[in-house]
């Protein structure tokens, strides 16, 4: 296979019936009856998700801004990078990422790039996440965002990239956005450098947005 052929492509098999047995505050569960290549019909249940953004904020000392937060479904307090839902249909993901960085860490950044795009669990959820690289990080002005829920117990730190890489490979860190972010950062440095990353407003077919 040639390198230019190595890309995911859009496709949509026929759906002969669809239902939404559960709708929550932010996500839903959908059941589709999908026609298989041999003509049979198979039922597929999956979570419908608005999409998310995450930010790997890198400071001048090669440290990443991370937060520690309780995640009830997995019964763990996880080290993560700032992230949040795309709450507004058609919202520019860069604007959402800048908002999340401000709300969760009270910082801003001068330079933004797309680090990596990912479908988190495509076998059971349609969530798509865009992970940004943010550089030129400085404290934000104004009042801090009022925390609620799990965020009341949230703690912040800045951790060297090398320590995060060791934690990922040792099996000590499990948040997918943090893992993808630091591994993609390392890969980008080894292949063209960080300035060669896609611009912050690069097209994102998984979640089209207005400029």
Q: Which residues are catalytic?
A: 151
Nearest-angstrom CA–CA distance, 121 and 149: 25
């Amino acid at each position: 296979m040639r390198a230019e052929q190595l890309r995911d492509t859009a496709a949509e098999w026929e759906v002969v019936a669809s239902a939404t047995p559960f709708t929550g505050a932010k996500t839903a569960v959908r059941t589709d009856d999908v026609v298989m290549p041999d003509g049979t019909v198979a039922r597929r249940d999956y979570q419908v998700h608005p999409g998310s953004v995450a930010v790997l904020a890198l400071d001048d000392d090669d440290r990443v801004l991370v937060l520690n937060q309780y995640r009830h479904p997995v019964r763990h307090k996880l080290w993560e990078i700032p992230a949040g839902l795309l709450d507004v249909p058609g919202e520019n993901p860069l604007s959402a990422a800048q908002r999340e960085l401000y709300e969760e860490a009270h910082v801003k950044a001068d330079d933004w790039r797309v680090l990596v795009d990912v479908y988190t669990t495509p076998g059971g959820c349609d969530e798509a996440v865009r992970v940004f690289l943010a550089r030129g990080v400085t404290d934000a002005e104004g009042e801090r965002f009022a925390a609620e829920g799990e965020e009341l117990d949230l703690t912040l730190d800045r951790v060297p990239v090398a320590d995060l890489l060791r934690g990922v490979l040792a099996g000590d860190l499990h948040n997918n956005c943090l893992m993808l972010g630091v591994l993609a950062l390392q890969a980008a440095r080894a292949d063209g450098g960080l300035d060669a990353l896609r611009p912050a407003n690069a097209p994102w077919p998984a979640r089209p947005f207005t400029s």
